[in-house]
Structure 1
């Protein structure tokens, strides 16, 4: 495994202020947040695969709106059928007990359905995948022709070595120096795997932040806010190169 299991840090963080500009509609029986670019085009799209707090988390919706403002049609589905983890659960909460109901056999079909809808009915020609924490595993699993054309993940969790080695498209990663889940050892292992691949890849490393920083950091702290903004800019630059230019 090139990143460790979920831990309590995957449920902690700060709530961000803002008003979401998108809308929630269903794809089949999957509740989904949609955010549209200024020109309303759906050709260049981003599928956000969220952390365990889910698609109704305002922090993630605001990020979706940022991607939309950058020119992408954004789809943010509920990967958990409503069984999300509230922000800052008490210490006794065991996230590994929770995730037993959200392994690939439950999660893959949701993503398959959403991708089919995006490509067949929503007019998406190129799709980039964004995976935060929990979602990082699934960016790797779906980074294949006809699924995701390019991938980005920040502080991924539970990525198996064969999932990472099996990617077939460009992958960009944002990592924190202090992260018990995507640890230094796991990051180096990931680098070794990716270095053997022919696809483009990068790992950007951020100090002053911890696991979850790209979504749940304390934006009142300048260094954390800067890292979050730079991680987002990294993702946009990646998709501008590997989604929009093709």
Structure 2
């Protein structure tokens, strides 16, 4: 295991982020388990051995997940890691320029057509390159290395959108995580909830095509039947998919929901790790 800072990557992340969160990342980029990883060390000695891992959305290891990692570490006192699951091949977050920002927002036909074009020409091939058969081994290797090389005794996995699937898998039969939090998760099905074996919390958007009201209700019912496993669903008003990782800093309602998601992550970690 080699480690070291890469200052140019810390600087470059701020240039490529669409509508970045305020602040400057305080952590460092290390090479861990074979991937570039953002790492922020916790300040609570009593929490050593307790680790939080953020699994990002399709936009990867740019500025926002680093700022989130810093905030979560400050709230919990724990070490936080954000691995680059895509080896530098993340989608540009500028893709969000054509996406709705608030519930019920209508887009022109031209913008909708442009968005659909991006889905077909960019997202489809990207999803093939980063299919489960490629990404899951990276996730498994990373979590196992945390226990073997960083003496992590308890791990909470936090997944955003794309990373939500792998957080659910980490909390299931793979036995990689001891607790999980999903933020506007996607790509999953009811089997992933049925197979959960650890305390699980979810920060959900008011309007989310990837985790609909009916699906969320079904997921809640599945976990409610698991009486021995704590679960919690928080529905954040005034939000759409992406609010917990790519909020609009100029919208107070969305930023309040963003804080609510970070508070949930911290609460779940301090309670279940």
Q: Report if TM-score (shorter chain) is over 0.5.
A: yes
**How far is the alpha carbon of 1:54 from its aligned partner?**
0.7
- Residue 3 of structure 1 corresponds to none
Structure 1 or 2: more helix by fraction: 2
Measured against aligned partners, the alpha-carbon deviations of 1:188-239 in whole angstroms (never above 9, x if no partner) come to 1211221222311010101111100011111211111111101111111111
Q: Tell me if structure 2 keeps the 8 A contact 1:48–1:64.
A: yes
Please give the alpha-carbon distance, in whole angstroms, between the structure 1 residues aligned to 2:187 and 2:33: 28
- Residue 156 of structure 1 corresponds to 185
- Residue 120 of structure 1 corresponds to 148
Please give the alpha-carbon distance, in whole angstroms, between the structure 2 residues aligned to 1:16 and 1:68: 16
Which has the larger displacement, 144-153 or 167-176? 144-153
- Residue 207 of structure 2 corresponds to 178
**How far is the alpha carbon of 1:160 from its aligned partner?**
1.9
Please give the alpha-carbon distance, in whole angstroms, between the structure 1 residues aligned to 2:230 and 2:158: 16
Which of 118, 122, 129 is the matching residue for 1:93? 118
Residues 160-239 of structure 1 correspond to what in structure 2 (within 5 A)?
160-198=189-227, 199-239=229-269
TM-score, normalization by structure 2:
0.80
Q: Tell me if structure 1 keeps the 8 A contact 2:25–2:63.
A: yes
**How far is the alpha carbon of 1:146 from its aligned partner?**
4.4
- Residue 75 of structure 1 corresponds to 81
Measured against aligned partners, the alpha-carbon deviations of 1:63-122 in whole angstroms (never above 9, x if no partner) come to 001121121111110111211011122733222332112222111111111111110111
Larger radius of gyration: 2
Are 1:133 and 2:158 an aligned pair? no
Number of residue pairs matched?
231
Distance 1:222 1:190, change over 3 A: same
- Residue 16 of structure 1 corresponds to 21
**How far is the alpha carbon of 1:13 from its aligned partner?**
6.3
SS of the residue corresponding to residue 100 of structure 1 reads: helix
- Residue 38 of structure 1 corresponds to 43
TM-score, normalization by structure 1:
0.89
Please give the alpha-carbon distance, in whole angstroms, between the structure 1 residues aligned to 2:88 and 2:43: 30
Q: Tell me if structure 2 keeps the 8 A contact 1:59–1:216.
A: yes
Q: Tell me if structure 1 keeps the 8 A contact 2:239–2:257.
A: yes
Please give the alpha-carbon distance, in whole angstroms, between the structure 2 residues aligned to 1:140 and 1:146: 10
Please give the alpha-carbon distance, in whole angstroms, between the structure 1 residues aligned to 2:186 and 2:18: 16
Any gaps of 5 or more consecutive residues in structure 1?
Answer: 1-11
Measured against aligned partners, the alpha-carbon deviations of 1:163-205 in whole angstroms (never above 9, x if no partner) come to 1210100000011111111111111121122122231101010
